[in-house]
Amino acid sequence: MPKQTFILNGKPVTVNVNDDVRVLWVLRDLLGVTGPKYGCGINVCKACTSHINGKAFNPCSVKVGDLKKKDRVTTIEGLPDTVGKQLHPMQQAWIDRDVPQCGYCQPGQIMAAVATVKKVRREGRQLRESDLDEIRNICRCGTYARIREAVEEGARNMR
Amino acid sequence: MSIAETATDAGNMHNPSSTAGAAGSGLGRRSFLGYVIGGTTLVAAAEFAAPARSDAVVPSLPQVPELYDLEDLQTDAALPTSALISVSINKDGTASFAIPRAEVGQGITTSTAMILADELDLPVSKVKVTLAPARPELVFNQLTGGSNTTVSTYTPIRVAAAIARNALLDAAAIELGYAVARLRTYDGLVEAPNGTTIGYGELAEKAASPETKQVEVALKEAADRKVVGRPHNRDDALAAVTGQKDFSMDLDVKGALPTMVCRAPTLNGTPRRLKNRKKIKRMPGVKDVVKVDTGIAVRARTFGQCIDAIREMKVVWNKGSAEGESDQTILAGLRRAELPMVVPNVPILADQIDADFAFAFRSSAALEPNCAIADVREDSAEIWAGLKVPILAQQNIAAAIGLRQDQVKVNVITSGGSFGHKLFSDAAIEAAKISKKMKKPVRLMWHRADEPRQGRLHPMCTSRVRATMLGNEVLSFEQRNTSVVTDFSHGLGEIITSTIDEAPTDVGKALGGLGFSETIFTLTQELPYNFGAVTQLLNETDDRFNTGSMRNIYSPDTAVASELVIDMMAKKMKMDPLEFRLKFIKDDRTRACLEKVAKEGNWGRKMPAHRAQGIAVHKEYKGATAVLVEIDTRPSTVNRKIRNAVTGPRVTKVVMAVDAGLVINPRGLEAQMQGGFMDGLALTLTSSCHLRNGKFLEASWDNYFYTRQWNVPRKIDVHIMDPGVDQPGGAGEAGVPASAAAVACAYARAVGKVPTAFPINHGEISFKPKTFVPPVPKSPTNGLKFTY
C-alpha cells in the first residue's frame, strides 16, 4: 500500500493508504484527528474546513495522493500553534461571544473565518458584510449572528 | 438538630435578609423532601411533591394548554421517579450530576450546572454535569423534548443540591467546632466565624451517610441567587472551539470500524439481494458486507471506502412505501382528510375570511448525521449515540437483537444538533443489528444523502382557517390542521406510552378518543387572542413516511397560518396589524412581548416599495414570544447571485422579545432565540423536501436550503422579558413559530399578496437532483481548486 506523507499540524506524518482516499478520512479514521467533521462529504457544508499551506480547504474533497510531502495541513487542533499561543484570537473571539451551540460545525467555522480574514488582508482591504454573507459553512443550530460578531472581533485581534 | 432546621439556619446566616426563619417554623417557604444516599462520599437525591401549577384565569373559555399543557404532561410524568436524581460531592471539591437528558446544543449542561452552583454555593466551573446513560428505572423521566428539560428538572435538582449543602454544613459543624447556624458557605468553602475555612472536598467523605435517610430542606430565595439569571458562557465552549468536544463518531471504541449502508432508491425500499458481493468484498479497505432490513451494510477501514463500496453495489430492491407518489398526490390525500368547519360559510351579516395553507415536507436532520457505535456480543451489547429517548432505545435495541434490556448498555453522547431528529433511535437500532450480524463492533454513520431521502421529516400538512367577524368583533376563529402522520413512537421515552402511540385506535379510544398526536396537538396549540369561539383541531392521515417533530411539533405551521389570517382580519377591519393584535390579545405576558418588539423595532415606520415590516406572537412553553421583522423583496435583492446559493428575499432586521418565565441563563436563551429565528426563516422562505415518484429529491445541503449566511439578517436583537415568576419556561423551540409567522406576514405585506404554500420557493426546484442509483454522490477530488 502506498505511503502518504505530508505535514500535519507542524509535524510530518506518514500513512499507509491508497492514493484515492480523501484527506478527511485519513485525518479522522486513520490518524484520529477528529476536529474536522463530516457533514456532507461533497464540499458543501464545510464542516471539515481546515487549512493547506495557510489557505482554507475541504479535506473531504481532496485525495490524499494529491498532497505533497511539503504540504502543511492545519486542522483546528493545530490552529493555536500557528500563532504560538494557547488559543488563536479567532478561537478566543468564539469563546468571548459564546458562539457554539452543539459545536459540531464550529471547528470548520473558525478555520473558515481565519482564512477569510487572511484573504481580505491579502487583498489589502477591510472585512465587509458581503464577506460574511459569503461564508458558506452551515450551522444547523443557527449561530450565524454570533459567528458574524465573532469573526469581526477575531479579525481585530489577528496580526 | 434536624436537617430542615439546618437548612433554615444556614440560609439565614448566608443571607440575613432572607425569610429563612419563617421556613423553619413551617411558614412561608415550602420545604421539600429528599434523601442523603448511603455511601462513602456525599450523595444527595431529591424527592418532591407535585409543584403547584399557576392555573391561568382567563375571561373567556380557556383552551386546554392554558390549564394543562405539554410541559405539564411531561413534568407530571417525570414526578414519581425524580427521587432517583442525585448530586454527588467529590473529594476534589467538585460536584457531579448525571442529568437524565440529552445535550444536543441547547445548553442544558451549562444551565443545570448554574442551578446546582447557586444552590450549593459552589463555582459553576466546579459543577460537572454529564449525561446519564439509559436508566430504565426512570421510566417517563428520560426524554429530552418539548423544551421541557429545565421546566421539569429545575426543582428536583435544586432540592438535591440543597440537601447536599446541608449535609456539608453538618459535617463542617463538627470539624470546625461551631454550630451550623454560625457557619456560612461560599465558593465551595464552609467558613467559621473565626475565619477558618474547610473545603467541600475535605467534607465529602465526612458528610457521607452510611445509610440512606430522608431529610427535609428549604430552597434558596430568589434574592439569594448569585448565578441563576446572569449570563454565563457554555461549559463546553472551549472544547468545541478547539476540536476537543467529542461526538459519537469521534469516540475511540476498539474495533468499531467505519460502517455505512447502501439504501434503496425509493423511500423505505428494502433490499432483496446484493448481486456483486464478491467484488465489493475485494474492494480496498472493505472488511464486512451484510444485508440488513434497511439496506446493505459495509464496514471498512475508512468511511471513504464505505462510500466507494456503496457506489459499486448492484442491489435488487423491493418496493418502497410511497411508490409513485409525489407532493401533489400526498397533498390531495390530505385535502380528502380535512375536517369540516363548524361555522357555516354563508354568514348573513358577518364578514368571513377563509384561508388555506399548505406546508411541504421538511428535513429535521442535524449537521451531525444519524450515527451510532454498537458493540453487540453473544450476551451483551453496548451502544454510544446521541439519544433523546435512551430508555426506549435500550428496549428497542434489546428486542431487535434478542437480548434482555439489562444486557444492553446505552451511553448518551452529546449530539451535533437534534431539532427533534434524535427523539428517534434509528441509527442506534440499525447499528446494533449490523454489529450483531457482522459479529464486530461498528461505527455506523448515515451518508448526508440518506438524511433527507430516508431520514425523519417534518410531515407535510395543511392548515385551514375560517374567521368570522361582525363589526369590530371577532365571533369565531377555527383552525383545522391536516397532516401526514407525525411519528410519536418515542411516546414519553419508554415502551408504555410508545405503545400507546403505535396503537392509537385501541388505546386512543380509551383515552377519550384522542390518539397521541391529537393529544399532543391539543396540549400544545393555544391561540392567545380573544376571538370568540376558538377551535383548533388536527387530523392525521397517511403513515407511510418517516416523520417526527422538528424544533416544535405543530406550532410553526399553525402560527404562520393563524398570524397571516390575523393580518387579513386586521385589513378587513381597516386596522393596523399591531393595533388589531393589541385589541384582541388575551394575556398580559404575550401583550408585553408584543409591545416590546413594537417599540424597540419602531413598528409602523414608513417602508420603501417592496419592503415591509411583519409582526407576530406565539404562546407556548410556559411563556410567550413576539417577533418583528423587516424584509426586502426588491428584485435586486431577490435575484442577487451567490455561487450555488438560493438567495431570495432578505430579512434585514429582527427584533424578538421572549418571556421564558424564570430565566436560568440569559446568554443561552438569547442563543436559542437567535437559532430559533434562523429555523423559522428557513421554514417560511427556503427549506423543504420535494417528493417525486416515491423519492425525495434532496440529498445534501446544496439541495436542502437551510438558512445560510447570505440569508441571515444583519441585525437581530433579542429582548428578554422578566415576568417576575419563579417557574422556568422552555427555550429551545420557543423562538421558531413567531419567527416563521413574522417573516410570512412581512413577506405578504411586501409583495402585496398572501402566499398559500410554504416555504414560498417550494414551487420551483432550483437544483439538479443527485443520483438515486447509486444512492450516494461521488466524493469530489477537486477540493484544491477552491482554496482561499
pLDDT single digits (tens) B132-176:
888 877 766 788 888 888 888 899 899 999 999 999 999 999 999
Q: What's the CA dihedral at B557, B559, B561, B562 to 10 degrees?
A: 150
In eight-state DSSP terms, residue B689 is B
Suggest the residue from B779, B781, B785 to mutate for an interface test with chain A (most A CBs closer than 10 A): B779
Return the pLDDT at B502: 56
pLDDT single digits (tens) A1-52:
899 999 999 999 999 999 999 999 999 999 999 999 999 999 999 999 999 9
Give the bridge partners for B186, in sequence order.
Answer: B189
Q: What is the mean pLDDT of residues B45-66?
A: 48
Q: What is the mean pLDDT of residues A150-155?
A: 98
In eight-state DSSP terms, residue B594 is H
**B783 contacts in A (CB within 8 Å)?**
23, 43, 57-62
Suggest the residue from B110, B232, B234, B241 to mutate for an interface test with chain A (most A CBs closer than 10 A): B241
Q: Which three cell numbers stand for residue B648?
A: 431570495
pTM of the entire structure?
Answer: 0.93
Q: State whether residue A63 is helix, strand or coil.
A: strand
Return the pLDDT at B516: 75
Task: Give the torsion sign (CA, B265, B270, B273, B274).
Answer: positive
pLDDT single digits (tens) B444-454:
999 999 999 99
Point out the residue among B246, B677, B709 whose CB comes nearest to the CB of A133.
B709
Chain B residue with minimum CA distance to A55: B788
The verdict on a CB contact (< 8 Å) between B242 and A35 is yes
pLDDT single digits (tens) B705-733:
999 999 999 999 999 999 999 999 999 99
Give the bridge partners for B631, in sequence order.
Answer: B612, B651
Amino acid at site A93: A
For this complex, say whether ipTM is above 0.85. Answer: yes
**A61 contacts in B (CB within 8 Å)?**
779-783, 786
Return the pLDDT at B76: 65
Mean pLDDT, rounded, of chain A:
98
Closest-CA distance, B44 to chain A, in angstroms, reads: 30
- Tell me, yes or no, if A123 comes closer than 8 A to chain B by beta carbon: no
| Residues constituting chain B | 788
Which ranges of B184-267 would DSSP assign to H, the alpha helix? 200-206, 237-241
The verdict on a CB contact (< 8 Å) between B241 and A37 is no
The verdict on a CB contact (< 8 Å) between B783 and A59 is yes
Would you say B565 and B467 are in contact if contact means Cβ atoms under 8 Å apart? yes
- Tell me, yes or no, if A76 comes closer than 8 A to chain B by beta carbon: yes
Point out the residue among B247, B258, B308 whose CB comes nearest to the CB of A104.
B247
Mean pLDDT, rounded, of chain B:
89
Point out the residue among B367, B675, B707 whose CB comes nearest to the CB of A45.
B367
Would you say B310 and B673 are in contact if contact means Cβ atoms under 8 Å apart? no
Point out the residue among B104, B447, B712 whose CB comes nearest to the CB of A145.
B712
Return the pLDDT at B79: 53
- Pairwise CA distance, residues B353 & B406, whole Å: 57
Choose among B700, B731, B537: nearest CA to B625: B731
**B369 contacts in A (CB within 8 Å)?**
38-39
**A100 contacts in B (CB within 8 Å)?**
105, 234, 236-237, 240-241
C-alpha angle with apex A27: A25 to A30, nearest 5 degrees?
A: 75
Q: For chain A, how far is it from start to end, CA to CA, in angstroms?
A: 43
Residue whose cell numbers read 376563529:
B477
The verdict on a CB contact (< 8 Å) between B233 and A41 is no
Contacts of B274 (CB under 8 A, 6+ apart): B280, B289, B291, B296, B313, B314, B315
Q: What percent of chain B has pLDDT over 70?
A: 89
Point out the residue among B240, B304, B713 whose CB comes nearest to the CB of A100.
B240
- Pairwise CA distance, residues B698 & B696, whole Å: 6
| H or E stretch covering B95 | strand B95-99
pLDDT single digits (tens) B266-298:
999 999 999 999 999 999 999 999 999 999 999
Would you say B324 and B293 are in contact if contact means Cβ atoms under 8 Å apart? no
Contacts of B325 (CB under 8 A, 6+ apart): B544, B691, B693, B694
Half-sphere exposure of B453 (CA within 13 A, CB side): 30
**B768 contacts in A (CB within 8 Å)?**
none
Closest-CA distance, B387 to chain A, in angstroms, reads: 14
pLDDT single digits (tens) B97-134:
999 889 999 999 999 999 999 999 999 999 999 998 88
Q: Which three cell numbers stand for residue A94?
A: 468564539
The verdict on a CB contact (< 8 Å) between B416 and A102 is yes
The verdict on a CB contact (< 8 Å) between B241 and A39 is no
pLDDT single digits (tens) B612-650:
999 999 999 889 999 999 999 999 999 999 998 999 999
- Pairwise CA distance, residues A26 & B681, whole Å: 37
Would you say A92 and B229 are in contact if contact means Cβ atoms under 8 Å apart? no
- Tell me, yes or no, if A146 comes closer than 8 A to chain B by beta carbon: yes
Question: Would you tell me how many other CB atoms lie within 10 Å of the CB of residue B769?
Answer: 14
| Residues constituting chain A | 159
Choose among A41, A26, A43, A136: nearest CA to B369: A41
Q: What is the mean pLDDT of residues B320-331?
A: 97
**A109 contacts in B (CB within 8 Å)?**
none
The verdict on a CB contact (< 8 Å) between A138 and B367 is yes
The verdict on a CB contact (< 8 Å) between A62 and B783 is yes
Question: Would you tell me how many other CB atoms lie within 10 Å of the CB of residue B550?
Answer: 25
Q: Which residue has the higher pLDDT, B50 or B165?
A: B165
The verdict on a CB contact (< 8 Å) between A142 and B674 is yes
**A114 contacts in B (CB within 8 Å)?**
none
Q: State whether residue A122 is helix, strand or coil.
A: helix
pLDDT single digits (tens) A86-117:
999 999 999 999 999 999 999 999 999 999 99
Burial of B583 (0-12, 13-18, 19+ CB in 10 A): middle
Compute the count of residue pairs across chains A and B with CB atoms less than 8 Å apart.
234
**A94 contacts in B (CB within 8 Å)?**
237, 241
Q: In angstroms, what CA-CA distances link B144 with A112, A145, B356, B728, B780?
A: 32, 26, 33, 16, 37
Suggest the residue from A144, A147, A153 to mutate for an interface test with chain B (most B CBs closer than 10 A): A144
Would you say B125 and B92 are in contact if contact means Cβ atoms under 8 Å apart? no
Q: Are strands B127-131 and B184-186 parallel, antiparallel or unpaired?
A: unpaired
- For chain A, count helices (H), then strands (E): 5, 5
Would you say B352 and B467 are in contact if contact means Cβ atoms under 8 Å apart? yes
Point out the residue among B243, B419, B782 whose CB comes nearest to the CB of A75.
B243
- Pairwise CA distance, residues A138 & B367, whole Å: 8
Suggest the residue from B234, B260, B311, B367 to mutate for an interface test with chain A (most A CBs closer than 10 A): B367
The verdict on a CB contact (< 8 Å) between A60 and B783 is yes
- For residue B59, what pLDDT band results from cuts at 50, 70 and 90? very low
- Tell me, yes or no, if A61 comes closer than 8 A to chain B by beta carbon: yes
**B777 contacts in A (CB within 8 Å)?**
41-42
Question: Would you tell me how many other CB atoms lie within 10 Å of the CB of residue B506?
Answer: 10
- Tell me, yes or no, if A6 comes closer than 8 A to chain B by beta carbon: no
Point out the residue among A23, A30, A103 whose CB comes nearest to the CB of B105.
A103
- The 10 Å CB-count burial string (b at 16+, else e) for A98-107 is bbbbbbbbbb
Give the bridge partners for A52, in sequence order.
Answer: A55, A73
Task: Give the torsion sign (CA, B68, B74, B77, B83).
Answer: negative
- Pairwise CA distance, residues A20 & B304, whole Å: 9
Closest-CA distance, A13 to chain B, in angstroms, reads: 18
Peptide bond between residue B577 and the one before it cis (omega within 30 degrees of 0): no
